[in-house]
Every structure is written in C-alpha cells, then in structure tokens.
Amino acid sequence: MTSEKYTIPITMLGPTGVGKTSVLAAMYRKFAHTTGTTDLDLTPQGTTPDRIRKAGDQLARLSRQVIITERVRPTGVNDIQQFDFGVGRKNKTPRFTLRFTDYSGELLLETGGALLQRVSDQLDVSPVIILAIDAPALMYADGAYHEELNLPEQMYEIVKQIMQRDDRHRLLLLVPLKSERYLETPEGTRALIDRIHDGYKSLLAHLSHPEVQPRVGIVVVPVQTTGTIRFSSVQDTPEGPAFRYVSRALNAPFNPVDAEQPLRFGLRFAINVYRRERRGPFRKMFDWLKRTDPALVKALDAFSSVPPASPGIQVLQSHPHLTNDDRSR
C-alpha cells in the first residue's frame, strides 16, 4: 500500500503573499533538526521538493543579507497550491500523505463554479486549519496595516462558513509569521498575543460561542520564519507599504524557530480525530496504520507530544484532541 492510499488534508488560509510557502519551507528544514532519535520522516512528493527547495534557498539568501525590504500586499490571485509530504519511518516507504493545501483568501470569498465546489469538498474533510498572519502588519503602529494585508474579516467569514457546513471537530492554528522581533522579550510576546485577540476578535468571538466552542481547538503558534531577520520599520510608497527588515548578523544562517510546531499540533489533532473516529475512512486509516506499522504510530505520538518550549505558543481554546491520553486504543 502506498502513501496515496490515505491522505491527511491540512488547510492553509491567508492572503496571497503573506508567506505560507515560506513557512512550509521553514517547517521542512526545522523538522530534520528536531526529530532526533524519533523514527519519523517526511518525504516531499510530486512537485513539492522543487518548490520547497526554492523557497528555502530564498529564505537562506535573505538571512545572509543585512537589510531587506519587502512589499507585502494581497495579489488578488485566485490560486490553489498543494504541497504533499509522505509520512513514514526513516529509510522506509511513506505510509500516508500529509497534504497542505494553500487556498488564497481571495479565491474562497468568490461564489459558484466547479472549482469552488471542489474547494468546498476539500475543506469539509480537513481537520486542521492553519491561518497564516503577517506579524509585522499585525503589530506595527497598532495594526495600521493589519486590515489591508491580513484581511482578518475576510478570514473570519471563510472560517465561519467552514464551521457552518458541518459539525466536524477542527483545530485552528493562528500562525504569526516573521515574529522574530516580538518574541525577544516577555513584553513583546504578551503584546503579540494581545494584538491577536484584538485583531481577530470577530473570529475568536464566533468560535467561542457555546454552539461552536466544543468542536474547535485554537492555538497561537508564532513562527520565526528565518530566525535571523528582525522587522525594523515601514515606509509608505506608491507601490504599497515597504516593510524593512534587518539581519542580526552578516551572513547569518537560516535558522527558523518553532517552524515545526504547527506540524506537531496538526499531526496530534488529526491523528486523534482518526484514532477516536468510530467508523468511516478516517477510522479505517488509523486501524490500518496501527495494524501494519505500530512503530510509526508510536513515532507519530512521540513527535506530536513534545511540549512547546516557546512562551509565545498558547492554547486559546482547548480541545480533547490536543491531548494524547488514549494511545492504546
């Protein structure tokens, strides 16, 4: 049986250009350095290796520069990108596929058509939603560029529509990217969390409603995308706001921090959905995996259960699937 037999779908939301491909490149780079002796491996599949390599090389080049200027703005491109990773034990054939599907927020706000129906069908079966957030846009000048660049109200409408279509249990990961500056001090970390509460108050209020709250977990997972480039300032230009970053050192290494944490939380939640499902294809997948490769199940539990060390990672809304307390089932 190949890894194509079963696929765990993970939804990635956020305006086009916010950095979702970059965080996948950082995640893959960080994964290799954090598994340690855990017998677990990720293998990029299809066109994913080339795209991830290019994004990783770009981040590495940026890390070596001293001053970086970035113009971030939603492009309006209606785009879907899929990134497939085979999951298995080291030096073994992957047993299932982890599929990250990057939907532009602009696309999901359109209505009608066969493409939108296919997107809707895929969203319905995804147990994990990653909402990528441009942290400097969220934080600078009390969020002066947040509405323009992160589109928080549009993201709220999209997540609300997903939750209204069925009563499935889901995990929402709020992932502020380029968070290097804000995690340097406890005060900066608290300010980041406070701004998330304020900048996404409509979304968080909806998901905390008694009719919705029992089936949604929410975790904030700030990611230091390069680990070396620190946000500095913003300059308004005719082409849009130009965000300026300064590297901590000339020729600094590409060293992302906490980039693997969305993967840890996402795998933990998804595997527990499948583990605790009483019937259907998800339960069938877990039963097959437990029967044919119990060592992989053990490795998945070990990797996904590592407690986060970063104080910026906070569970805003708990859910039973965030804990591994019934591994023998």
Query: For 20-46, what is each residue's pLDDT tens digit?
Result: 999 999 999 999 888 877 899 999 999
159: left (phi over 0), alpha (psi -120 to 50) or beta: alpha
Q: In the predicted model, what is the mean pLDDT of the chain? A: 88
Residue 112: the pLDDT is 56
Radius of gyration for the chain, computed over Cα atoms and rounded to the nearest angstrom: 19
Structure tokens at 25: 């490149």
Contacts of 241 (CB under 8 A, 6+ apart): 71, 72, 73, 145, 148, 149, 234, 235
Does the residue 2 lie in any domain? no
152 against 66, higher pLDDT: 152
Residue 110: the pLDDT is 62
E strands, 122-268, in order: 128-134, 170-177, 216-220, 229-237, 240-247
69: left (phi over 0), alpha (psi -120 to 50) or beta: beta
- If you count them, how many residues does the chain have? 329
Residue 17: the pLDDT is 76
CA distances for 189 relative to 181, 257, 286, 311, angstroms: 9, 14, 37, 8
Angle between helices 281-292 and 261-276 (to 10 degrees): 100
pLDDT at 123 over 80: no
Residue 310: the pLDDT is 84
Percent of the chain past pLDDT 90, that is, above it, reads 62
pLDDT at 209 over 70: yes
Does the residue 125 lie in any domain? yes
Domain span holding position 78: 7-322
Residue 316: the pLDDT is 97
Q: How much is the average pLDDT of 201-215? A: 97
Residue 116: the pLDDT is 62
Query: For 289-307, what is each residue's pLDDT tens digit?
Result: 889 999 999 999 999 987 7
pLDDT band at 71 (very low <50, low <70, confident <90, very high): confident
Total domains, the chain: 1
Residue 207: the pLDDT is 98
Does the residue 328 lie in any domain? no
Does the residue 292 lie in any domain? yes
Q: How much is the average pLDDT of 186-213? A: 97
Does the residue 227 lie in any domain? yes
Q: How much is the average pLDDT of 125-151? A: 94
Does the residue 1 lie in any domain? no
Does the residue 72 lie in any domain? yes
Does the residue 169 lie in any domain? yes
